[in-house]
Homo-oligomer: A and B are copies of this chain.
Amino acid sequence: MFKYTLVIHGGAGTILKTDMTDEKELAYHTALEDALTKGSEVLAKGGAAVDAVRAATVSLEDNILFNAGRGSVFGKDGSQEMDASIMDGKTTMAGAVSAVQHIRNPVELAYAIMTRSQHVMLNGKGAYDFAVLNGLKTEADEYFFSEFRHDQWIQMQGSDEAALDHNVIVKDKKFGTVGAVAVDMHGNIAAATSTGGMTNKQFGRVGDSPIIGAGTYANNKTCAISCTGHGEPFIRAVTAYDVSCLMEYKGLSLEQAMNIVVHDKLMKIDGEGGMIGVDAKGNAAMVFNSEGMYRGMRSSNGINEVKIYK
């Protein structure tokens, strides 16, 4: 009997087996397994979907491998600015944060904005002040520092190029975002997304991750979606909400709607990337139009998979 499902992603892009060592591959697999375990534990105990996506996303944010939370990339000025959002399909309440620094878990800040403020979206220094006032964990620069990320940034510094992810070569695109969607035992669904943005990003660029409707959307009536990809086309296509509308207004299934958005609508505007989704009936899907997507799924009826490539 179906009880719950959790789906996660750790970013999409030009992820090729030929570029990967066994050691690195194992590290990603372990990290994704850990996040699935953290989120599934919540669901197995009868917990809420919104708490499961928080737990899974926190686990990914705490892992230096992914471009979110601890592993966030460096912007043009050497600072690390993070974006995150969360939406609860039961209530359609949402929280989002953009361009925040020194917050250990931006997804928890998005959750605090959703549950403890009158607002949906807070930004920058103001968002940081709200986090401190609400007792969220902050960390000094050292916590977010890794030789690897810093080297990436040093290589790009002085150029006007910006890399969307783990890799410094722009043509070798990787979209560093993490996210989770879940359906719980009570038939409620939720979605969360978190990112450190683009290496060497300039001008306070905001991608789709903190935009409700673009990077994240959840509504029990339709679906919970978390996206990863080239943020600009994802914003223009209102990607996550488009899946919901195709289900609500055209009667498509979750997977049909996700396929149309990812393989047709996004492709037409050079929108490389992917998304994960669930609906309240327990259907789940992971769809992408890039070479790879770090992803995993675990459910009460025995599905337990972690994948990287096509």
**Which A residues fall within an 8 A CB radius of B?**
87, 92-94, 98-99, 117-127, 129-130, 162, 202-207, 211-214, 217, 231-232, 235-238, 241-242, 245-246, 249-250, 269
Contact = CB atoms under 8 A, between A and B. Distances in A.
Nearest to A237: B92
Contacts of A202: 126, 130
Given A93-B236, A99-B123, A245-B249, 12 more contacts: A92-B236, A94-B235, A121-B211, A122-B204, A123-B124, A123-B204, A123-B205, A126-B205, A129-B203, A211-B211, A212-B214, A238-B241
Chain A interface, DSSP helix/strand/loop, else mixed:
mixed
Contacts of A246: 249
A124 B98 CA distance: 11
Contacts of A242: 241, 245
Contact of A203 (B127, B162, B213, B214): B127
A78 B151 CA distance: 40
A237 B281 CA distance: 22
B130 A203 contact: yes
Contact of A235 (B120, B130, B203, B205): B120
B205 A122 contact: yes
Given A92-B236, A212-B214, A217-B238, A121 B205 contact: yes
25 contacts: A92-B269, A93-B236, A98-B206, A99-B123, A99-B124, A119-B205, A120-B231, A120-B236, A121-B205, A121-B206, A122-B204, A123-B204, A123-B206, A124-B204, A126-B204, A129-B203, A130-B202, A211-B213, A212-B214, A212-B236, A213-B213, A213-B214, A213-B235, A213-B238, A238-B238
A126 B206 CA distance: 10
Contact of A125 (B118, B122, B204, B269): B204
A265 B132 CA distance: 35
